[in-house]
Amino acid sequence: MPRKKPTGIPHWTGFMSQELDLIARRLKPIWILFPVLALALFLFLSLHFSLASDQPAGSNTVWLPIVTKTNSNPIQQGIATYYYATGDGACLFGPSPNDLMVAAMNAEGYDNAAYCGAYIRVTGPEGAVVVRIVDLCPGCEAGHLDLSLQAFDQIADVSQGSVSITWQIVSPELSGPIAYHFKDGSNQWWTAVQVRNHRNPIARFEYRTESGQWVDVPRTSYNYFVQTNPGMGPGPYNFRVTDSYGNVLTDNGIAHIENGSVNGANQFPPGP
């Protein structure tokens, strides 16, 4: 019998082809399950992170992939003394006989009136009190607050004179919007504006020119924002105020009233 012509293909090729085909058929159900498994994994992870986000917040809150602190106002340590306050002082808010929960900031913290009008919770050996910064204590070192007699009495026995404290900036509930107070002597050439009744510390004050440009107004150590050479003009004015947390309030049509106040439209939201 004549021999068959060699094909050039090894004799085990057919066997391997059969084995591979058998393996593929056996694995096919597993490949079909992959989308199901992936969906189950996604649902598990979603449930896990949802439950984690519902947990009570501690000193830090984690929102993947960003980590942020829930309170950006550090707790300071220092001492408290007291003085016979009227509500007036270096911040030039004027006397406030009906509100003497006030204090004077130490020279380092005063920072060119940056703390003027800020609210601070002071905790002492016998309690806590919220005070408004209205004055400068030139001889006080870092951390030192000079409280009104009435405020000091809320945290310690007055006879102690000086006590250790902790304190922190807070955002209390306030009634009404912020207000713009024009200094005595303020005019269209030398325009001096003070922001009052603000929940949070004030970081920036701007006015808009007739050409539509916003101009940063410098702050003085006596807590007025003063624009001169040129002044702001006769008004009415458009003002933009930014607090220490970056919140912005804009008010339009503010009339100039020398040694008078004009209310804005809104109040800052609470800080962190």
User: What is the pLDDT, as a whole number, of residue 272?
Assistant: 82
Confidence of residue 3 (pLDDT cuts 50, 70, 90): very low
pLDDT in tens, 156-197: 999 999 999 999 999 999 999 999 999 999 999 999 999 999
Can you tell me the distance from the alpha carbon of 114 to that of 102, in angstroms, rounded to the nearest whole number?
A: 16
pLDDT confidence of 235, banded at 50, 70, 90? very high
Domains observed in the chain: 76-170 (2.40.40.10), 179-263 (2.60.40.760)
Q: How many residues does this entry show for the chain?
A: 272
Strand partners, 81: 146
Q: 61 - beta bridge partners?
A: 68
Cα–Cα distance, 261 to 250 (Å, whole number): 16
Extended beta strands in 90-162, E state: 102-106, 119-124, 127-137, 145-148
Distance CA 238, CA 135 (A): 29
Over 50: is that where the pLDDT of 117 sits? yes
Tell me the average pLDDT of the chain.
Answer: 83
pLDDT score of 82:
98
Q: Which residues contact 48 (CB under 8 A, 6 or more apart)?
A: none
Q: Are strands 119-124 and 163-170 parallel, antiparallel or unpaired?
A: antiparallel
261 by DSSP, 3-state: which?
strand
pLDDT given for residue 4 in this prediction: 40
Which tops the pLDDT comparison, 96 or 56?
Answer: 96
Please state which of the ranges 59-63, 84-88, 162-166 shows the lowest mean pLDDT: 59-63
